[in-house]
Structure 1
Amino acid sequence: MLTARTRRARHAPSDDVAEPGATAPGAVEESPRLRSRRSPMLIVAGLLCAVLGALGGAFAWTQASRAQSVLVMTRDVARGEQLRSGDVGVVSISVAEGVSTLPASELDGLIGEHARVDLPAGSLPGRGSVGALPLTPGTSRVGLRLPAGRMPTSPMPAGTRISVVEVAEKSETQAAANASRSADAETPRSTDAVVVRAPVRAEDRTSWLLDVEVSADQAARLADLASRDRVAVIVRGP
């Protein structure tokens, strides 16, 4: 009898067997997994970035499709000056409605024309900014050739108010010098004028060419004096 009980005791369930649902000694208890939530702000930000990207792409495509090849000034050209090769280039840009420009196809025909207004580098010349220089009603245009010492060395851009002074002939220089010493010496005769284009150096490199606008009734006399090298120029104040 004792042997049978002992065997049954040996086969009895052990107290160390873990019950279902119980945690074994030393084991780390796993925390329950929480379902992640997406932030509404992140969703809105993502949608906003997508919309802005689409709008930016549409704007870039629109700008590229509306781009035109137009003329642009690459150098400063003052009013009255003649345009030369290298003064004008070509640029491809999107031009707003109402902005006057010249197409790139007119580049060759523009060389040799005169600037009617000041054209700084980077500006877009329009239809009315380049062409033949207009003549003010009641005036005439006269060309002068002035040797060194007959005009100021300071810049005289188009629009400068000047006076063209009548100079005595070489044979009369000594007589004029003697007359100037007298108290009743007469003031040299002069004609008011306006510079049409800035002076340019002549081919001889010793004189300057200057176009001026004068009253029509003074043009013939001034042209005659200029042909005989009897003119000098002074700049008038405002």
Structure 2
Amino acid sequence: MVSAEEVLQKSPSPDRRTHHRKPSTVQDAPVPGAAPLRPRRQPKWIVGGALSMLLGALGAAWLWHQATGTHQVVYVAQPLEVGQEITAGDLTTVSVGRIPHVQTVSGDELNALIGQEATVALPEGTLLPAGVIGDVPLDEGESQLGLRLASGRIPTTGLHPGSPVLAVTLPDPALVQPQEESLTTEAVIVADDEWADLTVTEARVITAPVRDEDGISWIVDVAVPDGAAADLARLAATDRVALVLDGE
């Protein structure tokens, strides 16, 4: 039989049982009928999302504008010198977007430029600026004068739109007196007072010279000062004007 003393030794004391018991976890029970708690909003995430949407919209608008704003313009495919006649291989077209503050030539005008002349030197690989193909424009205080000159009174080469020239008046043929010096040579004597009336006028070529229908004379347009236009026209009508290419 087990004695009472042995039973007391095997049974744990109340203090020891309390010491080894695991603490219980107590959770707050939800209150019936109460609304659930919403998570707190973060303002920085809201602002960031709105900014991302705005940037995306701007990017899409820019891409759409670039795609819809592209157009064809004339492009210089071969280098061109002043006065050079434009051929089909000299110019082409290229697609570009909007170019602020640059005046280009629409690709629709390409065929109309063939056969005209460059008024300035144009390097290869550049967009063709407006107003550099065709006739040279007049400056303020200038008049355009058409001349019909006999061969020998105009250079046969080197005259292009924009070329500087000198319009030289010639003596009156009535004052030119031939004097026989030998059987084969004639000397020309000109009265001194006639040379005093000769003038030299600076001018610019507007259109390149072309051969007249008679096959002898040349037709050319030049820009001259307003004050000299009338006198040069009168002298040209009597075949008393010659053009000299100005080398300066």
What interval of TM-score do these two structures reach, taking the shorter chain for normalisation? Answer: 0.5 to 0.7
* C-alpha distance in 2 between matches for 1:160 and 1:168: 25
Matched, 1:178 2:189: yes
* C-alpha distance in 2 between matches for 1:153 and 1:128: 26
Q: Which residue of 2 aligns with 1:191?
A: 200
Q: Which residue of 1 aligns with 2:238?
A: 228
Cα–Cα, structure 1 residues 157 and 84, in superposed 2: closer, same or farther, change >3 Å?
A: closer
**SS of structure 1 residue aligned to 2:145:** strand
Q: Is the Cα contact below 8 Å between 1:159 and 1:196 reproduced in 2? A: yes
Matched, 1:151 2:160: no
Deviation at 1:178, TM superposition (A): 2.2
Q: Which residue of 2 aligns with 1:201?
A: 210
Q: Which residue of 2 aligns with 1:70?
A: 73
Q: Which residue of 1 aligns with 2:99?
A: 97
Q: Which residue of 1 aligns with 2:52?
A: none
* C-alpha distance in 1 between matches for 2:129 and 2:242: 36
Cα–Cα, structure 1 residues 72 and 118, in superposed 2: closer, same or farther, change >3 Å?
A: same
- Unaligned 5+ runs, structure 2: 1-63, 179-186
Letter in 2 for 1:234: V
* C-alpha distance in 1 between matches for 2:194 and 2:170: 14
* C-alpha distance in 1 between matches for 2:119 and 2:196: 36
Structure 1 residue aligned with 2:227, among 196, 213, 217?
217
Cα–Cα, structure 1 residues 136 and 83, in superposed 2: closer, same or farther, change >3 Å?
A: same
Cα–Cα, structure 1 residues 206 and 159, in superposed 2: closer, same or farther, change >3 Å?
A: same
Q: Is the Cα contact below 8 Å between 2:168 and 2:244 reproduced in 1? A: yes
TM-score, with structure 2 as normaliser: 0.52
- Unaligned 5+ runs, structure 1: 1-61
Deviation at 1:229, TM superposition (A): 1.8
Q: Which residue of 1 aligns with 2:166?
A: 163
* C-alpha distance in 2 between matches for 1:174 and 1:213: 33
Of the two, which has the highest radius of gyration? Answer: 2
Instruction: Spell out, residue by residue over 1:76-129, the C-alpha distance to the aligned partner (whole angstroms, 9 max, x if none).
Output: 6555x5966637643334457335422222335546776553335554222343
**SS of structure 2 residue aligned to 1:177:** strand
Instruction: Spell out, residue by residue over 1:55-76, the C-alpha distance to the aligned partner (whole angstroms, 9 max, x if none).
Output: xxxxxxx9x9686432234566
Query: When the two structures are aligned, how many residues end up with a matched partner?
Result: 174
Deviation at 1:162, TM superposition (A): 2.6
**SS of structure 2 residue aligned to 1:86:** coil
Instruction: Spell out, residue by residue over 1:8-35, the C-alpha distance to the aligned partner (whole angstroms, 9 max, x if none).
Output: xxxxxxxxxxxxxxxxxxxxxxxxxxxx
* C-alpha distance in 2 between matches for 1:159 and 1:126: 17
Letter in 1 for 2:188: A
Q: Is the Cα contact below 8 Å between 1:69 and 1:90 reproduced in 2? A: no
Dislocated runs of 4+, deviation >6 Å: none
* C-alpha distance in 2 between matches for 1:198 and 1:77: 17
Q: Is the Cα contact below 8 Å between 2:154 and 2:242 reproduced in 1? A: yes
Structure 2 residue aligned with 1:126, among 122, 126, 129?
129
Letter in 2 for 1:166: T
Letter in 2 for 1:150: R
* C-alpha distance in 2 between matches for 1:168 and 1:129: 38
Cα–Cα, structure 1 residues 77 and 198, in superposed 2: closer, same or farther, change >3 Å?
A: farther
* C-alpha distance in 2 between matches for 1:122 and 1:206: 40
**SS of structure 2 residue aligned to 1:211:** strand
Letter in 1 for 2:244: I
* C-alpha distance in 1 between matches for 2:222 and 2:104: 30
Letter in 1 for 2:206: R
